[in-house]
Chains A and B, each alone.
Chain A
């Protein structure tokens, strides 16, 4: 148990489907993130939410739509994805202040677009 829970762990979806990824943390962190990990690429930051407000969108296509209803929950809504969107999607949270700027990551959702 990492403190950040992501569901589902695996997802296979067609290009015309609509699905959502869910992330939940009860660590009292105020910031939450979506990352994408593709093979042979660094972790790519997609979105940042700080106290439920989106503070960063790293030029992510509109077929990815984040939602942060409260500081503990983060969603990533997916629609009309492409096969190249297949990747591991990681959620993370962090708390401001202190010398440890570390994130706590969830286990990720392995997404396959067919």
Chain B
């Protein structure tokens, strides 16, 4: 059973508009949540993270919101640009992960930003 779920395999957005990527989790024992971005033929690159004790973290055009009661987080990209077209992975770090930094991954959502 997947502990981190990205229920939308794909999303299409017009350039300049907001992209909202969603992620749900089933385990309350996560310490950090992270978003990674992956272009074809490349490895994932770290985008933004949020601690479980916060409800929002912002970095330029990217904002991550965490709703602990709903076990839900979302990544907002405003304004969306064609270069944002990629697969976005949600990942979570369990409490007491220690030095292993074992991440629990979602399946990813493919974002297409149309010019």
Contacts and interface: CB of A to CB of B under 8 A. Distances in A.
Interface of A: 2, 4, 6, 9, 30-31, 40-43, 45, 48, 50, 55-56, 90-92, 94, 96, 99-108, 110
A74 to B, nearest CB: 14
Interface of B: 2, 4, 32, 34, 36, 41-46, 49, 51, 89, 93, 97, 99-107
A11 to B, nearest CB: 14
A43 B105 contact: yes
A107 B42 contact: yes
A101 B93 contact: yes
B43 A106 contact: yes
A67 to B, nearest CB: 18
8 contacts: A2-B42, A43-B105, A45-B103, A48-B100, A50-B99, A56-B100, A103-B103, A105-B36
A99 to B, nearest CB: 7
